[in-house]
Amino acid sequence: MGLGFLVPAFLAGLAALVVPILLHLRHRDRDRPMRFPSLMFLEQLPIRTESRQRITDWPLLLLRLLALALLVFAFARPVLKDRRVVGADNRTKAVVILLDRSLSMGYAGVWPRALDSARAVIDRLDGKDRVALVAYDDAAEVMQRLTEDRAAVRGVLGAVQPMRRGTRLAPALRSARQLLLDAPFAAAEVIVISDLQRASAAGIAGVEFPAGVQVRGIGVGSDTWVNSAVRSLDARRVREGDRTLLAVKARVQSHALPAIRPVTASLSVNGRDATTATATLARDGETVITFTPVPAPDGAVSVRVAIPADSLVADDTLVAVVPRDDLLRVALVTPPDMSASETLYLQQALGIGRAPQVQVERLTAVPATAAALARTGVVMFWDMAPDAPAALTSWVNDGGGIVLATGRRLAARRTALPSYAGITFSGLADRVSDRGGTLRDVRAEHALFAPFREAQDALTAVRAWRYPRGDASPSADILARFDDGVPAVLEQRIGNGRAMTLTVPLDNQYGDFPLQPAYLPFVRQLVLHTSGRDAAPLWLTTGESWSLPATLSNPVVTGPTGALTRPQADSAGAAVPLPDAGLYTAYAERASGEPGAVLAVNVPPSESELTPMDTTELLLGVRTTSAESAAASRADGDTPMTVEEMERRQNPWRVLLIVAALLLLAETILGTRGRRGMARRVVPNTTSNVASNTASTRSAGAPASTASRARFDT
């Protein structure tokens, strides 16, 4: 343990220790005055007072000095430093090897160089130096803690393999720091063996090492790298007559190809080779490879696009999952007297967008048959609210969706609404005079408002002049309100389906919503969400997590490696971590063998970006604790304690203040006791008498005490 001070400048206050010493040196021994017959002649002596050069009351002086010193130390904020943190231990050197095993390390020749470098580091260690091995990709795994057993480390090193994952250096640095904190060291070195992709350095500035730790990088990447990677994939269903085909386009990113490169890309669907396409890759840049449409199977379709392997193999393949049907049919049910212009905005808005494509079918009555409903994703009642037939109710319970959108007719309706509306109208809010009502209390976290999470102002700019007032039923979930508190958007779960109710008008007769930028994404997200087909990406990347559909009860998930996972659901639903690239399949516990959901996972595109960073950037990014940097405390609870944090936890200044207070109390008692003794022996006003006597004696050269003066005057 070492002693430090948070505010060492206060130690200058120790100079004040001179004060009590001087006071004691000047102190007159008044506690024991010598009784003398008369001061008649003493008062005539020329030198009356001189500074005492000798300290007689040592206990009192020591008490005062100690109390003062403790006060100074308390204000200097002392802190007992843990040497494990500051690295001031006389132990051997500790070396932590951080070995990058991300996808990019699979670049030709890189991994053997990395292993060689790691072995070289181990071989260069001195006798009792300790070494630890941490393998990292987008997460860090401690393969071997600090040990002197080099053979063990070499054995572990041989078992490490490149993974199909991304790269994040910061978790590995934190693991190294924790290893060093767990074992005292005199000097330590953290060696990063990696291709040092620039993209992997994000977040390392937040890592702080104890003083005495050196961080250095060993770049094992190629000086020049050539690579082609399938960066993205566009797969959708298209209608060709009665057939549904799957059209796939792949985008291939190339870097530093020696020449344009003709390639034959292959497309597999549901694990079977479907077709190939020939393309010529540009030397640098993007090339789009378009496959001939192939028949699309029913249900969700997994798609894999591969190009011939190059130096980095893992990014030459990309997987995606195309949802079961790429066409969302919306039955728009309108009043018979509604003109086409009234639904123009809505129909046009719904018609825009793909994956899925929305197909609007305008009706004047609810599809009555189950077969007709089966082809429908969403039934949208526009400005009308018919009673729900049994077929519709059953359809919703099975997962269908209903949207009840309010227009001028529905706003004026006084009769009760069907139960799926989730609201009871009680009148009409007229906001013409105050520039219209606006949306407030928008629950941005809801899936309906996912397109607006980055721009919530887009919805609050919507104005409505007239809208129905109503009281929401207890089963309805209010997703947004008007600024006067009237519910604007409501949702009800009905079986496996859902019903949405909008009191905010979707036409431009009672509001300006169709004229706002938010209209298109809102209407589209409205039908996607209501149908249960929120826009989902075709794939995720490793390191993310998969939120399983709520319809899967007690799901079991198989990963690309074949491992089974049983995710535990919580209030937010079940989520599965995605450590590996490939296809993840989720099954319901009582399923008949059909997968409940399929997810494609690919490595982050950044793994294909092999531009290295300079090792000095690594050194600049990582900080070590020093007198200067210690002042910058960080909120990260996983980081080593700074001096301030240690001092805050120890609070030694409180103890010092208490002890100083006790010492001062003792000093007061001692000092008072001495004065009491003196007061008993000395008559009152003695001091003033002495002072006046001294003054008169000096001026007149005559005795000045009362008694003496009386004798002389007689």
Partner 1 sequence: MPVAPAAFLDPALLAKISDLALLARTVVDGFMHGQHRSLRKGSSLDFAEHRSYQPGDDLRRIDWRVYGRTDRFYIKEYDADTNAGVLFALDTSGSMDYGSGSVTKFVYGRMLAASLAWLSQSQGDRVGLATFTQDLEEVIPPSVRHLQRILHTLAATTPRGPSRLVHSIERVGLLSTRSGIIVLITDCYERPDALGRAVDALRMHGNDVIVFHLVDAAERDLPGDADTTFEDMESGALLPLKPDDLRSKYQTLIRAHHEALQSRLTAAGADYVRLLTNEPLDRALHAYLDARLTRGRVR
Beta-carbon contacts of residue 297 (< 8 Å; ≥ 6 apart): 269, 270
Cβ closest to partner 1, residue 150 vs residue 709 = 709
Q: Which helix (H) or strand (E) holds 519?
A: helix 519-531
Strand extents, DSSP E, 580-626: 582-587, 597-602, 623-624
Cβ closest to partner 1, residue 211 vs residue 682 = 682
CB of 68 to partner 1, least distance (A): 25
DSSP conformation letters of 646-673: HHHHH-HHHHHHHHHHHHHHHHHHHHHH
- Residue 106 and residue 317: Cα distance in Å, rounded? 14
Among 9, 15, 46, 699, binds partner 1 (CB under 8 A): 46
Pair type for strands 213-219 and 188-194? parallel
CB of 23 to partner 1, least distance (A): 15
Cβ-contact 350, 321 below 8 angstroms: no
Q: Segment contacting partner 1 (CB under 8 A): 40-48, 138-146, 209-217, 481-489?
A: 40-48
Among 41, 375, 627, 675, binds partner 1 (CB under 8 A): 41
What mask, x for binding partner 1 by CB under 8 A, covers residues 387 to 426? ----------------------------------------
Cβ closest to partner 1, residue 26 vs residue 453 = 26
What mask, x for binding partner 1 by CB under 8 A, covers residues 250 to 279? ------------------------------
- Residue 158 and residue 69: Cα distance in Å, rounded? 59
Cβ closest to partner 1, residue 415 vs residue 714 = 714
Q: What is the amino acid identity at position 34?
A: M
Q: Which helix (H) or strand (E) holds 688?
A: helix 686-700
Q: Segment contacting partner 1 (CB under 8 A): 35-43, 183-191, 323-331, 415-423?
A: 35-43
Among 34, 159, 259, 390, binds partner 1 (CB under 8 A): 34
CB of 61 to partner 1, least distance (A): 16
Q: Segment contacting partner 1 (CB under 8 A): 44-52, 356-364, 607-615, 617-625?
A: 44-52
What mask, x for binding partner 1 by CB under 8 A, covers residues 626 to 665? ----------------------------------------
CB of 647 to partner 1, least distance (A): 46
Cβ closest to partner 1, residue 283 vs residue 681 = 681
Neighbours of 545 (CB within 10 A): 12
CB of 16 to partner 1, least distance (A): 25
Q: Is 474 in the site for partner 1 (CB under 8 A)?
A: no
Question: How far is residue 567 CA from its own chain's centroid?
Answer: 23
Size of the site for partner 1 (CB under 8 A): 41
Cβ-contact 384, 437 below 8 angstroms: no
What one-character DSSP code corresponds to residue 571? T
Token pair belonging to 29: 């021994």
Cβ-contact 82, 646 below 8 angstroms: yes
Cβ-contact 428, 466 below 8 angstroms: yes
Q: What is the dihedral of CA 362, 365, 371, 377, to 10 degrees?
A: 50
CB of 50 to partner 1, least distance (A): 5
3-state secondary structure 572-585: CECEEECCCCEEEE
Cβ closest to partner 1, residue 283 vs residue 698 = 698
Among 2, 23, 29, 365, binds partner 1 (CB under 8 A): 29
- Residues from 190 through 209 that contact partner 1 (CB under 8 A): none
Among 10, 11, 30, 386, binds partner 1 (CB under 8 A): 30
Helix (H, G, I), strand (E, B) or coil at 690: helix
Cβ closest to partner 1, residue 672 vs residue 687 = 687
Q: Is 28 in the site for partner 1 (CB under 8 A)?
A: yes
Among 15, 45, 340, 390, binds partner 1 (CB under 8 A): 45
HSE at residue 567, side-chain half, CA atoms within 13 A, is 27
Cβ-contact 595, 612 below 8 angstroms: no
Q: Is 243 in the site for partner 1 (CB under 8 A)?
A: no
Cβ closest to partner 1, residue 35 vs residue 435 = 35
What one-character DSSP code corresponds to residue 283? S
CB of 675 to partner 1, least distance (A): 13
Cβ closest to partner 1, residue 447 vs residue 682 = 682
Please report where in the chains the tokens 């079991």 appear, as a residue: 556
Q: How buried is residue 108: exposed, middle or buried, by Cβ count under 10 Å (0-12/13-18/19+)?
A: middle
Cα–Cα distances in angstroms (integers) from residue 374 to residues 322, 381, 395, 396, 653, in the given order: 20, 17, 8, 10, 75
Cβ closest to partner 1, residue 58 vs residue 435 = 58
Cβ closest to partner 1, residue 50 vs residue 123 = 50
CB of 687 to partner 1, least distance (A): 7
φ, ψ dihedrals at 23, nearest 5°: -60, -40
Nearest Cα residue to 604 out of 173, 202, 207: 202
Q: Is 40 in the site for partner 1 (CB under 8 A)?
A: yes
Cβ closest to partner 1, residue 433 vs residue 714 = 714
CB of 40 to partner 1, least distance (A): 5
CB of 64 to partner 1, least distance (A): 20
Helix (H, G, I), strand (E, B) or coil at 631: helix
Q: Is 60 in the site for partner 1 (CB under 8 A)?
A: no
Q: Is 42 in the site for partner 1 (CB under 8 A)?
A: yes
Question: How far is residue 79 CA from its own chain's centroid?
Answer: 31
- Residues from 672 through 711 that contact partner 1 (CB under 8 A): 681-683, 686-687, 689-690, 693-694, 705-708, 710-711
Cβ-contact 543, 535 below 8 angstroms: no
Cβ closest to partner 1, residue 631 vs residue 707 = 707
Cβ closest to partner 1, residue 370 vs residue 707 = 707
Token pair belonging to 601: 């996972």
Cβ closest to partner 1, residue 55 vs residue 66 = 55
Token pair belonging to 639: 């980081």
Among 9, 15, 54, 564, binds partner 1 (CB under 8 A): 54
Cβ closest to partner 1, residue 445 vs residue 713 = 713
- Residues from 553 through 582 that contact partner 1 (CB under 8 A): none
Q: Which helix (H) or strand (E) holds 181?
A: helix 169-182
- Residue 521 and residue 356: Cα distance in Å, rounded? 13
Pair type for strands 466-472 and 423-430? antiparallel
Residues near partner 1 (CB under 8 A) are 28-30, 32-50, 52, 54, 681-683, 686-687, 689-690, 693-694, 705-708, 710-712, 714
